[in-house]
Structure 1
């Protein structure tokens, strides 16, 4: 259990490093080209998540391809929006908006799965929205496309989670992770062709590092959920907002003000409370495999 949780913390540190790489690349490459190369290099370490007893034939053939396609679409769109968010917003601010994901999961569960949502979870929903208002402060600060992109990442991630609730018990984790990464490679590869720009020599180390570190993060999170229940591992994702604050301040000179920090804490607490309540009310956190939703 402890080893699994430590691996999860390491995984989310790796994910944060990958997101910081996106910010470092910035607008020096087109969005789709960044998505293509990062997904391509991330695919390599992720392939090692295959269990020894599995064969490539059953890993590559999903049991429910229709639902998997929905997950692939939401994961790919979320990835593209993630590139926009992290290249245009401070890291911690982008995470604060992306961490609306469990709030959207609650709302979608009520709308799609017809789950009963108690007043405490609705209170957490409104608490999360209040936190976002403190971070973004529309009317007092300029609202950028990156803000909408980050919220879009959260919505896509919530759709992916809903799909995983159905696919989790039947599909292998390497199938779920590999399918999203392959879809990202194919879609971004096709869309980058009209505006393809050969990366400069100084960008290649960033691209290679960003892709490999994301792939390693996927590998670590799968190993973590083999050692500890997914429900125990999932809350460690909120450590990303700490990593983002440290990385943003150290490498990009980003220092959130007090109001923004209060908003980030409010979003994080609301998300964690939502997850705890869902664990009490339903069994899905115990059986849903963790997957990077972008």
Structure 2
């Protein structure tokens, strides 16, 4: 394997590992939320992750970030806190694979957020891809609307879609954050800021978890911290467009773990909808690469003409 190929292969492999660990963490958080409630699952995971991150910051002698970097950490931490609350609330009401499939709409939403926030152009092919993704969402939701499932599950599906909108914003921030902070710093500050958000409700909602829940809290926090660090490391070393398709492997992990741990079965509408959403995302990513290539081929820097 030549050097350029190896330079891409290693971040790709680390990204695959990060996604797999996140999928296991999702299952751990679902079990923990059903055991101690959503708030306490999120709060105690944030506490544990913050302590773990602080110790690693000291052991590895990480530098304190600048004010500009702290603002990025703060923004992403708040966004992820709300996103996580919505997503794990939905996981308590939906099969893992279905929730993950619906969340795949996020990269398509990110196209329009990038246009709004970064003034990027959205081409016709990307618009068509987003419409295909919306059809995929409609296919998955069709099972809910037909009455095959209760209304609580339909609310869960809508919560995933709301979470996906925040995840799309998170995708835009993630690459910027990975360029200015180490993986340990990224993971530590995300847990710390999430803890600050969830601590607002601690006087009314926090309870000491039962002893039997402690191993699950430790597992969820360790998996969350490790996967965050792995993804930050990978995104800092190669283009996001090469790594985003890896996110779709989470559907396979979710289907396997949901079946093994929670006895969940895949429905035809979930698989069909997931395929449509993933296809739309891949088309959008491909059109984005084509636009970038065209731009590089035609753009002339000032002073070089």
Same fold (TM > 0.5): yes
The correspondence for 1:247, drawn from 254, 257, 281, is 257
Structure-2 change in CA distance of 1:86 and 1:139 (3 Å): closer
Find out whether 1:124 has 2:126 as its counterpart: no
Distance (whole Å) between structure 1 residues aligned to residue 188 and residue 140 of structure 2: 34
Structure-2 change in CA distance of 1:44 and 1:267 (3 Å): farther
Pairs within 5 Å for 1:46-57: 55-57=62-64
* Root mean square deviation of aligned Cα: 2.8
Structure-2 change in CA distance of 1:65 and 1:97 (3 Å): same
Distance (whole Å) between structure 2 residues aligned to residue 154 and residue 210 of structure 1: 21
Pairs within 5 Å for 1:1-294: 1-43=8-50, 55-57=62-64, 59=65, 61-63=66-68, 65-66=70-71, 68-137=73-142, 138-141=144-147, 142=151, 143-164=153-174, 169-170=179-180, 174-225=184-235, 228-282=238-292
Structure 1 unaligned segments of length 5 or more: list them.
Answer: 284-294
Aligned residue pair count:
281
Contact 1:49–1:222 (CA<8 Å) still a contact in 2? no
Structure-2 change in CA distance of 1:169 and 1:207 (3 Å): closer
In structure 2, the partner of 1:292 is none
Distance (whole Å) between structure 2 residues aligned to residue 195 and residue 217 of structure 1: 28
Distance (whole Å) between structure 1 residues aligned to residue 287 and residue 117 of structure 2: 18
Contact 1:3–1:227 (CA<8 Å) still a contact in 2? no
Structure number having the greater helix percentage: 2
Distance (whole Å) between structure 1 residues aligned to residue 20 and residue 214 of structure 2: 22
Distance (whole Å) between structure 1 residues aligned to residue 275 and residue 53 of structure 2: 32
Larger Rg: 2
Contact 1:42–1:215 (CA<8 Å) still a contact in 2? yes
In structure 2, the partner of 1:291 is none
